[in-house]
Structure 1
Amino acid sequence: MTRRLSLVALALLLLLAAAFAWLSWRSQHEPATAAAPSTLQGAALVERGAYLARAGNCMACHTERGGAPYAGGRAIDTPFGTLHGSNLTPAATGLGAWTADDFWRALHHGRSRDGRLLYPAFPYPNYTRVTRADADALFAYLRSLPAVERANTPHDLSWPVSTQAALAVWRALYFRPGVYADEAGRSAEWNRGAYLVQGLGHCSACHSTRNALGATELMDLSGGMIPMQGWYAPSLASRAEAGLAGWEIDRIVQLLGTGSAPGASTLGPMAEVVLHSTQHLSAPDLRAMAVFLREVPETDASPDSAPPAGAALRERGARLYAEHCAACHGEQGQGIAGAYPPLAGNRAVTMPVTANLVQVVMYGGFPPATQGHPRPFGMPPFALELSDAEVAAVLSFIRGAWGNSAGAVSELDVAQQRGTTR
C-alpha cells in the first residue's frame, strides 16, 4: 500500500512538472503586444491611467496602511496563507525596470517581468479583459508616481500552493487570457458597462462563490462569502439579495456614486469600493455599469432553510429591539428617511445568509463618506454590549417582524461569525 501511494505521489508530481513546463513554454510564446497600444500621449495618457487606477481600485491592495501610495506591503489574507501587495512605484524595487510590454503581460497573462506566474489574488482573470490601450495608460500613470524604494514582502503560503508548478496547474484549469470583445446585439453603453464590471471592476472577485481551489467564474455574480473577511457579497442576479433588475438607472448610479440611495446603502467591503473607486468614476461610466448590472440574468434566490424563531426568542428579541434599536429604526422598523434604513421589507435583512447582519450589529455599519453624500449616518457596534445569544435574539426578531418572514439566527451562527472575523 505504501509503495502504491508513493507511485501515485510521484505520478502527481510528474504531472505537475509537465503542466508547468508546458505552460511555461506557452507563455514564452504568447505575444506581449496582442492589441493596439494607446494613442494618447504625455499628460493625457497619465491622466487616463489615474482614472483607470481608480476604476480598478489598485491602491487598495498595493498600499500598506499608513504607507506610501502604491509602494506595496499590504497583507492579503487568503485560505492558503498571506500574500502581500507588490510595489508599483517606478523604483528599482518596484516597476523601475519594467516596460509597457512587461506590464501588459502581467495584466493579460498573469506573468511577472521575470517570468514568474502571479497569484490570482492579483485579479488577472479579470484584468486579462483590459485592452492594451488601457494597460498602457495604467502603466504610464504608475511610472509617473514618486519612486519609493521598498522591497516587496515575501508571500507566506502553505505547500504546495507556494510552488509555481501548483499555480501552473491552477491556471490550466481556471485561467483563459482574452481581451473583452463587444457582445453583438448589445448597445455601446451595455458593452462599456460589461467591460468595466468584468475587467477593472473585477466584481466577480467578491460577488461569486469560490471553489475549494479559490477559483471563480467570471460571469458568476450569484454571491459568495468574501474569504477571511466574514462578509457576504450578495447575489447580483437575485432580486431577493442585491439584484438590480427593476431598479431605475438613476438609483443604481446614485448607489454606486455615493454609497447611498433611497432604501439602500453600502456597508463593509462594498463601502470601501465606493469610497476608493466608484465615486470617482464619470457619470457615463457609472450609467454604463448600471445598465449592465440591471440586465444581469436573474436566478432564483436560495431557499432559507433556517426555521422561524420561537415565541420565547421573539419576545426576548423584541425587548432588545425596543431598548437598543427602535430609537433609530422605528418601532415598526420603518426607519428614518435619509438617515436610518428601514428594516421592514429590507432584503438585506431577510437574505438566507446572515453574515452581514451579524457583522453590522457586532461591529457597526458605516456607509462611505463621499462627495455626493459627505455625512452619512452610521450604526454603532454592539459587540461589547450584547452577548452572542442577545445578538441572535434581536436579529431573529427583526427577520420575522413587520411582514418579514425569514428564519431565525442561532447563537452558533453569531459565535462562528465572531470567530472568523479578521
Structure 2
Amino acid sequence: MKRKSLFALSAVVVAAVAAGAVLWSGGNNLHSGGAIAATPADKAALVKQGEYLARAGDCIACHTVRGGKEFAGGLPMATPFGTMFTPNITPDDQYGIGKWTSDDFYRAMHTGRSKDGSLLYPGFPFTSYTKVTRADSDAIYAYLRSVSPVSVASRPHELRFPFNNRNLLIGWRTLFFSEGEYKPDPTKSVEWNRGAYLVEGLGHCAMCHTSINAMGGPVNSAAFAGGLIPLQNWYAPSLTSNKEAGLGDWDIKDINDLLKTGVSQRGAVFGPMAEVVHNSLQYMTDADINAMSTYLKSIPQKNEAPETMQLETSEKFGTELMQMGQKVYTENCAKCHAENGLGKPPAYPPLANNPSIQMQSAVNPIRMTLNGGYPPSTGGNPMPHGMPPFAQALSDTEVAAVVTYIRRSWGNHGTPVSPQQVSNLRSAPLD
C-alpha cells in the first residue's frame, strides 16, 4: 500500500489517498481481542468494509503490476537509494501473508515491523499507517485474506550499500517515526476529526506533499508545504500556501469535486494525483470526501510558498521567451484555453489566475506541455478531456517560451522558464 494543467491544479490536493469506513472513534468495531467476527454475516460485512478501506488506501497501486495478478506484488519502486519491490500480500501460505495473523498485520501497519520482527523500509508508509485504528486494520486484513492466493515469490530489494542494511533503520526511525493511533482533537468537529484521520492515516498525503531530506525522511517542520516527488519528476504542490494549492479560499464543493471526479471549476488533476483519484478517491463515500475537504481546507495557510530549486533566465532572455511564447500559445493552446486564458472549465481549465501555473516550481506545467495527459476517468467524469503532448512538435526553447508566456500573462506572476529545465524533464519517466 503506498503512495505513490497543461495547467490545472496538477498533481494536487492530496498526493495521496484516504480511507476508512470505521470512524476514528471505533464505530462499527467488529474487532474484539484480535478475533475476526464469528458469524458469516459479520465476517462478510468486515470483508466488504476492508475492501472499501483497501480501495480507498490505493493498496492495488503498489501491490499489483499492470496486467499482473491482483496484490501479487513485484512493482519496482525507484528511490534515490536503489530499487525496492513491493511484496506479495495475497493469502498464499508460502509467498504471501497466508500465515499472518491479524496481530501480525496490525504490527506491520502500526509499528513498521514484519511478521518475523524485521524492520520494514519506509517505502511502506507505516509512519502514516500507525495512525490507523485496530478495527480498520482488521478489516483490511479480513479483505486481503478473502482474495485469491498467488504463488509468486516477492522479489528482493536492490538497494545500494549501506542502505541495504536494515539495522540502519533504527536510527531513521528514531528521527522520523512516532508510533501511535490517531487521537481526535476534542476542540474540533466530528467531521473535521474524520477528515484528519483519513488524510493523515491511510491517506498518507504528506508522503508526497512534504519535502524529503537527504536521509529519505520527511521535513516535518514543513509538513504539507509541497515537494518534488523523488525520481517521478512531478511536483506535489504546497497545501499550506494559497500561492500554490492552499485551499483556504476554495469552496468545499470545488474540493469535493476535485477529489471525487478529478475535475472542478477551479482546476483538474493530472499525473500521479490522477491515478490516486482513479484508483481510490472516486470510490469513497460522499461523507468521507466531504470530511477530507473540511480538514484540508482548514490547514493553516502561510503567506509564502516554500523555496524550490529553479533554473533562472536573464530578464532580457525572459522577454524574448515571452514574445515567442505568445505565438506558440496562439497556434497551439488558445483553441482550448482561450486567448484570454480563461479556458472552458471544467473541461479546459483556466490558466489565468491559476495558482498551479504560477508556483515557483514550473515542473508540472512543463511536464504537461511535453507529455500531455488526461484527468482520471471517474464515475462523475467518465469521458475527460485531455491535453495532447507537444514533446515531438516543440523544441526545448519553444516549450520554455510557451510555459513562460502562460506563467506571466493575464495577471499571472510566475517566473520565466529555462530551456535547460525543459531539456532535463524531457526524458523524465511518464509515471
Partner in structure 1 of residue 144 of structure 2 = 142
Q: Quick one: which amino acid aligns to residue 57 of structure 1? A: D
Pair 36,343 (structure 1): closer, same or farther in 2 beyond 3 Å = farther
Given the alignment of the two structures, is residue 391 of structure 1 paired with residue 399 of structure 2, yes or no?
A: yes
Pick aligned residue for 1:254 from 252, 257, 260: 257
CA distance in 2, matches of 1:311, 1:284: 49
Cα shift at 1:168: 1.7
Matches within 5 A, 1:263-412: 263-302=266-305, 306=312, 310-412=318-420
| Cα displacement (A) at 1:247 | 1.5
2:77 maps to 1:69: no
Please give the per-residue CA displacement for 1:214-271, whole angstroms capped at 9, x wherever unaligned: 1115681110011110000001111111111121212211111000010210110011
Is the CA contact 2:34–2:102 (under 8 Å) kept in the aligned structure 1? no
Aligned residues of 2:36 and 2:138 also touching (Cα < 8 A): no
Shift of 1:364: 0.4
**Cα pair distance change 1:129/1:255, threshold 3 Å:** same
* Residues 1:79 and 2:87 aligned together: no
Deviation at 1:301, TM superposition (A): 2.5
Partner of 1:16: none
d(CA) in 1 for partners of 2:233, 2:422 = 11
Q: Distance in 1 between matches of 2:34 and 2:199?
A: 22
Amino-acid identity (%): 48
Would you say the 8 A contact 1:329–1:342 is kept in 2?
yes
User: Are 1:236 and 2:239 counterparts?
Assistant: yes
Normalised TM-score (structure 2): 0.87
Between the aligned partners of 1:240 and 1:324, the Cα distance in structure 2 is: 27
Q: State the one-letter code of the partner of 2:289.
A: L
* Residue type of the alignment partner of 1:387: S
Deviation at 1:39, TM superposition (A): 7.9
- SS at structure 1 position matched to 2:69: coil
- Kept in 1: contact 2:374–2:387 (CA 8 A): yes
1:116 aligned partner = 118
Match of 1:94 in 2: 96
Aligned residue among 166, 169, 175 for 1:167: 169
Structure 2 residue 47 is matched with structure 1 residue 46: yes
Contact 1:80–1:157 (CA under 8 A) maintained in structure 2: yes
Q: Identify the structure with bigger relative contact order (alpha carbons < 8 Å, sequence gap 6+).
A: 2
- Alignment partners' CA distance in 1, 2:92 and 2:300: 45
Q: Is the CA contact 1:36–1:132 (under 8 Å) kept in the aligned structure 2? A: no
Q: Which moved more, 1:245-254 or 1:41-50?
A: 245-254
- Report deviation, 1:36: 6.4
Q: Pairwise mapping of residues 53-64 of structure 1 onto structure 2 (< 5 A)?
A: 53-64=54-65
Kept in 2, the 8 Å contact 1:223–1:236? The answer is yes
Q: In the aligned structure 2, how far is the partner of 1:121 from the partner of 1:99?
A: 22
Give 1:125 shift: 0.3
How many equivalent pairs are there? 389
Residues 1:188 and 1:267: Cα distance change in structure 2 (over 3 Å): same
1:419 Cα offset (Å): 4.0
- CA distance in 2 between counterparts of 1:35 and 1:248 reads 41
Deviation for aligned residue 1:327: 1.2
1:46-84 superposed Cα distances (whole Å, 9 cap, x missing partner): 011001101211110000111011110111111111111
TM-score (norm: length of structure 1):
0.89
8 Å CA contact retained: 2:268, 2:346: no
In structure 1, runs of 5+ residues without a counterpart are 1-33
Q: String of CA shifts for 1:171-200, please: whole Å, max 9, x gaps.
A: 122112111011120111111100000000
CA distance in structure 2 between the aligned counterparts of 1:338 and 1:190, rounded to whole angstroms: 27
The ranges of structure 1 where at least 4 consecutive aligned residues each deviate by more than 6 angstroms after the TM superposition are none
Residue 106 of structure 2 corresponds to which residue in structure 1?
104
Mapped contact 1:35–1:132 kept (Cα < 8 A): no
Q: CA deviation at 1:418?
A: 2.3
> What is aligned with 1:209?
211
Q: More helix by proportion, 1 or 2?
A: 1
Name the amino acid aligned to 1:202: H
Q: Give secondary structure in 2 for the equivalent of 1:83.
A: strand
Structure 1 residue 344 displacement after superposition: 1.1
The alpha-carbon distance between structure 1 residues 241 and 215, as it changes in their structure 2 partners (threshold 3 A), is same
* Structure 2 unaligned spans of 5+: 1-30
The aligned amino acid for 2:67 is G
Q: Which has the larger radius of gyration?
A: 1
Distance in 1, Cα, partners of 2:364 & 2:286: 29
